[in-house]
Amino acid sequence: MRVLAATKGVEGEGFNPPDAGDFNLPPFIEGNVFATKPILLAFLSVLLIATFFILAARKAAVVPSKLQFAGESVYTFVRNDLGRDVIGHEFMRFVPYLFTLFTFILVNNLFGIVPLIQFPTMSRISFPYVLAAFTFFVFHYVGIRRHGLISYLKGIMFIPGVPKPAYVLITPLELATYFLVRPLTLSLRLFANMFAGHLLLLVFFLGGEHLLQGVIGLKLISPFSFAIGIALTFFEFMVQCLQAYIFTLLTALYIAGALADEH
Amino acid sequence: MAPRNDENAFWTIFGYLLSGLLIWGGIGYGLDRWLGTGFFLLGGLLLGMGSSLYLIWLRFGRN
């Protein structure tokens, strides 16, 4: 313990690999727990998204400008691919929610590779938790409104065409899936992807920087570490888009499932 | 809706397998703690695995 503490204290002595502590950003206003980088980024993302879409929609014309075209592409993608194709004829009611969810997660994920910001908000687990809680309430609310509380729960608990004793085995599983596993996997998948991605980038960039301070042989290896880091940045871009897509897609699928006549 | 079904099926199956192990394995673990035995956890995990697979078959394999 003493030895560890001693080596950690000496500057430039040994490489301190990035760990979960690197996600613990202290508040920048002393004592104010709300003044942290992730919260600031969440607000910034809302500001950016709102500005972008207001500007894109303001001078709407039949022949769209580039900005309008970009805004409409995102909107059309969410409305058609995630709303209409998944939910069916009632999809318009849910497009605002799906659209907000998709853009919010996407921009906050992309913050992970935007220079100078470089922190994915969703790698702090509270954000995915809250988003999953919203989805949880939305799809259950929709299902209860559609079927009534009793028959909604019945639809979840009892699949038709199963011998009665088997319900003892599978009804707990159905309940756990709908009320526990769904929100948990939804939030943890997003969190874990963002957390791991950020950690990976930290390892290669901090590692490259550390190698640069070593002997000549290590200095020669350092560019490779940076090169892998840059390649991983592009990979991360893909993961970040994919995770925003999957979160929204699963939300749409859950809503569609709650609306369907039989579960 | 057809191309989305794969994605849906994948996560549904994953969820069932997870909840099978958690619920029945958890009940087995609880019984073990309560009665001071050692075999309920294993039995619960197996039962959970079995019932997850049964449920997956009901959902996806029947027709």
Residue among A95, A75, A73 nearest A84 (CA): A95
C-beta atoms of B19 and A170 within 8 A: no
Most B-contacting residue of A91, A175, A181, A247 (CB-CB within 10 A), to test interface: A181
Largest CA distance in chain B: 50
Task: Spell out the residues 6+ positions from residue A228 whose beta carbon is closer than 8 angstroms to its own.
Answer: A204
Question: What string of DSSP letters covers A235-248?
Answer: HHHHHHHHHHHHHH
- Residue A231's H or E segment, with its range, is helix A216-259
**Nearest CB neighbour to B20, from listed A88, A173, A246:** A173
Nearest to B19 among A161, A162, A180 (CB): A180
Question: CA geometry: angle at A37 spanning A33 and A42, to 5°?
Answer: 100
Residue with tokens 């299902």: A143
Q: Which residues of A touch B52 (CB under 8 A)?
A: 173
- B49 in contact with A at a CB cutoff of 8 Å? no
Residue range of the domain that includes A31: 2-259
C-alpha distances out from residue A161 to A158, A164, B55, Å: 9, 9, 12
Question: What does the pLDDT profile of chain B (63 residues) look like in tens digits?
Answer: 344 567 778 888 888 999 999 999 999 999 999 998 889 999 999 999 999 999 899 888 876
ipTM of model over 0.85: no
pLDDT digits (tens, 9 = 90+) for A34-83: 888 899 999 999 999 999 999 888 877 777 888 888 999 999 999 999 99
Q: How many domains are contained in chain A?
A: 1
pLDDT digits (tens, 9 = 90+) for A83-136: 998 898 889 999 999 999 999 999 999 999 998 888 999 999 999 999 999 999
Cα–Cα nearest to A179, from A254, A126, A246: A254
The per-residue pLDDT for range A195-235, each reduced to its tens digit, is 999 999 999 999 898 888 888 888 888 999 999 999 999 99
Task: Provide, as residue numbers in chain A, all residues whose Cβ is less than 8 Å from the Cβ of B14.
Answer: 185
Collapsing DSSP to helix, strand or coil, A67 comes out as helix
The answer to whether A170 contacts B58, with C-beta atoms less than 8 Å apart, is: yes
Amino acid at B39: F
Contacts of B16 in chain A (CB under 8 A): 173, 177
- Return the DSSP state at A7: H
Helices (H), chain A: 2-9, 37-58, 66-76, 85-87, 95-110, 126-147, 149-157, 166-176, 182-212, 216-259
Distance CA A186, CA A81 (A): 19
Closest chain B C-alpha to A170 CA, distance in angstroms: 6
